[in-house]
Amino acid sequence: MAVKRFEDLLVWLKAQDFSVVIYQKFSNSKDYSFKDQILRASISISNNIAEGFDRRTNPDFIRFLYFATSSNSEVRSMLYLSKRLHFLESQETTELIKQSNEISRMLFGLIQSMTPRKSTNS
């Protein structure tokens, strides 16, 4: 069954859920610059998946999936920093990094499934 809407993609849903958790964890942060950056990056993950999907071509979708991957990496980097700055407890950070890594694996899997295979008979 072909996916007809980005809302049907499990990776999009997981990215949305991830962003909600990031919002909850950083909602009371007084470091507004850090908070703004991590929130915007987390939102970009699912937004890039959605935008790329609606471009309706595999090359465009793949390009936006790489953007989503980059945003996810930015969030993960900031999570490591948030641990060092004591914005989050170690266990919270570990769980969020685990979620981020899962999203990365899903994004790379989707990219691989959409990337044309080179023929070895050429």
- Who has greater pLDDT, 79 or 3? 79
- Who has greater pLDDT, 117 or 103? 103
Q: What is the pLDDT of residue 56?
A: 86
Give the model's confidence band at 118: pLDDT under 50 very low, under 70 low, under 90 confident, else very high. Answer: confident
Q: Does position 1 have pLDDT exceeding 80, yes or no? A: no
pLDDT per position as a tens digit, 60-108: 999 999 999 999 999 999 999 999 999 999 999 999 999 999 999 999 9
Q: What is the pLDDT of residue 98?
A: 98
Q: Are 39 and 31 in contact (CB under 8 A)?
A: no
pLDDT per position as a tens digit, 34-50: 999 999 999 999 999 99
> What structural domains and CATH numbers belong to the chain?
7-114 (1.20.1440.60)
Q: What is the pLDDT of residue 121?
A: 61
Q: In this structure, what token pair is assigned to residue 101?
A: 């890594």
Q: What is the pLDDT of residue 18?
A: 98
Rounded to whole angstroms, what are the CA distances from 35 to 29, 45, 90, 116?
A: 6, 16, 18, 39
Q: What is the mean pLDDT of the chain?
A: 94
Residues 29, 89: Cα–Cα separation, whole Å: 14
